[in-house]
Structure 1
Amino acid sequence: MLLPDDLLTRIHDRAAGYDAANAFCTEDLEELAAVGYLRAAVPADLGGLGLSLLELTREQTRLAAAAPATALAVNMHHVWTVTARIMRTRGDHALDWLLAEAAAGEVFAFGNSEAGNDLVLFGSRTQAVPDGAGGYRFTGTKIFTSLSPAWTRLGVLGRDDDSADAPKLVHAFLRREDGGTTAADDWDTLGMRATQSSTTRLEGAHASADRVVRRLDPGPQADPLIFGIFAAFEILLASVYAGIGARALELAAEAAHRRTSMKNDGRPYSADPDIRRRVAAAAIVQDALAPQIEALARDVDDLVDHGDQWFRLLAGLKVRVTEAARVVVDEAIRVAGGGSYFNGSELSRLYRDVLAGMFHPSDDESAHGTVANAVLGPVPES
C-alpha cells in the first residue's frame, strides 16, 4: 500500500476540523504530495510511481475511509493523470506532457461542469474563441471545481462557434499563472466541504495551441479522450464512495459493541438480533462494491474491449456504488442511534458527504438513459 496507516490516521484526525471550519484540506494535500501520491498513476518512465488504475482504486478507497472530502478533491487530479495514462497505453500521446507535469508537481483540476448543462462532455455553455494562433480564450462559468485553492492546471471545455468548421467542442488546459480565472468564495455546502469546489469564472482565460487537446463535434464521441475521462472519473469516483461505505460499516460495528441495552440486562447491542441483522444487511451491500470496481478497473488496465458497452458499464457502476454507499451509511446511523444526529459524530459527517454521490455525472437520469440505449437501442423517431 502506498499510503501508510499513520498518514491516514493524521488525515482522518483533521477531517472533522476541515468540515467544521469549511476549510480546504491544505495539510492533507501537502502530505499526500510529499509521499508521491499526486504522481501515483504517472508511469515510472515519466517520473511517477506507476500504479495501475486497479491499485489506485484501492488507495482511494482507503483514503476516503479516512477523509471522504480529501479523497474526492484529490480524485479530480487523479482523473486527469489516469485519463492521460489510458490514452498513452492505447497509443495516443496527446497528454504525455500532462503526465510529465504531474510528476514535476503540478496539480490538475477538473473544470468542465456547468450549471444547467446536462450534456456534460457533449456540449458546453462556455465560449471558446480562437486566438488566431491555434489557441483559445475561454469565457464562462464552471461549477464544482474541486481543488479550487490549490490547482495549477485546469482542464476546461468550451464551444467554438467562430471557426470555419464550427461548431466544435474544445478541450484544453489553462495555467493558473496565466490569469483569466477567478474562484468565487461560494463553497458552503451540506457535505464534502474540504474539497472547496468553488465556482470558477473564466474571463478570456487563455490556452495556448500546445494546450489544446481536442476539437470535437458536439454530441457523443468515441474519442480516446472522452473514453479516458469517463472511465477514470466513474471508476475513481466509485472508489471514493466505496470508502465511505467501508468506514460507515466499521463505525456501525463499533457502535453495536459499545452501546448497551437496559432492556436486555446491560448486554451490548451486538447481541440484539435486530441490530445484528441490520449490520449484516449493510455488510452484504458493502461487500459487493469492491469486486465491481476492481473488475472494471482491471479491464481498463488490461485493454479489454467492451466496445459500445463501455459507457453502460461505467455509468451503471457509478450509480450502483454511490446509491449502495448511501444505504450502508443509513443502516450505520440506525445502528449507532441518536448520537449520530449530532454534528460532532463522524457518521453525521459521512451521511452529509455520501449524499454528494447523487450529483456527480453520470446522474441517475443520465445513467438510466445510457443503459436503456445500450439495451434497447435509441428511442425510435415518431
Structure 2
Amino acid sequence: MARVEELLGDELLEAIRGRAAGYDEANSFCHEDLAELQAAGYLKMFVPAEWGGSGYRLQDASRAQLRLATAAPATALAVNMHLVWTGVARVLQARGDQSLEFVLREAGQGEIFGFGVSEAGNDQMLLDSRTVAAPQEGGGYSFTGTKVFTSLSPAWTRLGVFGRDDTGAGPQLVWAFINRQAPGYTIKDDWDTLGMRASQSCTTVLEGVAADPDRVFRKLPVGPNPDALIFGIFATFEVLLASVYAGIGQRAVELAVDAAQRRMSLKTGRSYAQDPDIRRHVAGAALAMDGLYPQLESIARDVDDLADHGSFWFAKLAGVKIRATETARQVVELALRTAGGSAYFRGSELERLYRDVLAGLYHPSDDESAHATIATAWLGPPED
C-alpha cells in the first residue's frame, strides 16, 4: 500500500497549490487537479490492490484528504464526494456487505462517482427525501427532484441518488446510481459562492432520469434505520469532511507562523514572532489543532476496526465534524489576526482560506442537528 506522501507527492501537492488561487478567482472547476490526481491513482485509494487501487482504510484516506486540503481545500472537497462512495463501499465490504462492490471495481476502471443526495429544505437528510422515485418495468427506477451541492458536477460519470417511492404498502427510500450519459437530468450553472468555488457543486435537476435495475442497490423504510448503508454514508462523509477542514486549519497555522516570522515591528525592530500577543495567537491556533488531530484519527480508526460504540456512534461522528469545522474557522481567524492587514486583500491565501472555511457551517451535520444528536445519545430523545 502506497504511503500518503507517495500517493500525493510534494511535487503534485505544490502544483495543485499553485492553481488554487486561479480556480477561485475564475470560479472554475479544478479540471487539471482532478486529471493529475486521477493519473496518480488518488481516486482509487479505497479500491483493493487486486482491482488497481491502494487498498486504503478510512484512516489512511483521512490523512490523504487532510494533506490535499492544505494545498487546495475546494479540490479536496470536490474529490471527497467520489471518496465518500468508494469509502462507503469499503466500509460495507469490511462488514460483509458486497452490495457496492461494483463501485470499487468501476472506480478501479476510472469511473468518477458524484454524491446527489442533499436537497433544499430536507432536514431529514438520509431519512427521507423530496425526490420521487418511481418504479419502472423490469425493476429499475426513475427519479424526479432537485439535488443541491452536487460537487464534481462537471466530472462525475456515476451519480449516487436517492428518492422516495410511495407506490407500495409503505413508503420506501430507493438508492441507485445513474450514468452521466442517461437522459433526463440537468446540471445548472449556478455555483457562484463565497468560497470553495473550484468544487463547482452545482444544482442537479432530476427530470425522470432512469437507473437500471442492477444500479438500484438499496430500498429502506422512511425514518431512522440501523442499516449499514446509513452508517457507512454518515461515517465516511463526516470523517472525510472533517479531514478537509483539519487541512485548512493546519495550513492556517503554517501561514500564521510564516507571517509572524516575516513581519517586522517598526517600534521594536524585531519580528512579530517576539510580540507576546502574536505569540499567543499562534499558540492558541496550534493548541486548538492539537486537540483535533487525535480525535479525527481515533474516530477513523474505530470505523476501520469495526469498533462498537452502540448508540453513541452518530454522536461521535457528528461531533468530529463540528469540532473540525469550528476549530478550523477559529484557527483561520487567529491566523488572520497574526498576519495583519495584508491578509485582508484579495489574492491572499488566508483571505481565500477564510472564505473556504465558512462552508463548514452548511455541511451536515450542522451545529443544531449535531447538538440534537449528541443530546439524544446522552439524555435520550426529547419528550413529546
Deviations 1:246-289 (A, max 9, x none): 0010000010011111111x211001011101100110001111
Query: 1:236 and 2:244 equivalent?
Result: no
Query: 1:23 and 2:28 equivalent?
Result: yes
Which residue identity lines up with residue 180 of structure 1 in the other structure? Answer: G
Equivalence for 1:221:
225
Please give the residue correspondences for 1:110-259 in structure 2 after superposition, counting only pairs within 5 Å. Answer: 110-162=115-167, 164-259=168-263
Query: 1:370 and 2:365 equivalent?
Result: no
Equivalence for 1:277:
280
Partner Cα separation in structure 1 for residue 154 and residue 240 of structure 2: 22
Which residue identity lines up with residue 188 of structure 2 in the other structure? Answer: A
Deviations 1:61-102 (A, max 9, x none): 010000000000001100000000000010000000011000
Equivalence for 1:297:
300
Partner Cα separation in structure 1 for residue 314 and residue 320 of structure 2: 10
Partner Cα separation in structure 2 for residue 231 and residue 45 of structure 1: 25
Partner Cα separation in structure 1 for residue 170 and residue 135 of structure 2: 11
Equivalent residue for 2:92, pick from 87, 90, 112:
87
- Out of 204-213 and 346-355, give the one that drifted further: 204-213
What TM-score results when the alignment is normalised by the length of structure 1?
Answer: 0.98
Give how far 1:134 is off: 1.2
Q: Which runs of 5+ in 2 are unaligned?
A: none
Helix, strand or coil: the match of 1:291? helix
Helix, strand or coil: the match of 2:311? helix
Query: 1:49 and 2:51 equivalent?
Result: no
Give how far 1:51 is off: 1.2
Partner Cα separation in structure 1 for residue 153 and residue 112 of structure 2: 10
Give how far 1:189 is off: 0.1
Partner Cα separation in structure 1 for residue 61 and residue 291 of structure 2: 18
Equivalence for 1:353:
356
Partner Cα separation in structure 2 for residue 165 and residue 113 of structure 1: 26
Percent identity of paired positions between Structure 1 and Structure 2: 64
- Out of 93-102 and 172-181, give the one that drifted further: 172-181
Query: 1:309 and 2:312 equivalent?
Result: yes
Give how far 1:166 is off: 3.0
Query: 1:14 and 2:19 equivalent?
Result: yes
Give how far 1:45 is off: 2.7
How many residue pairs get aligned? The number is: 379
Partner Cα separation in structure 1 for residue 134 and residue 325 of structure 2: 37
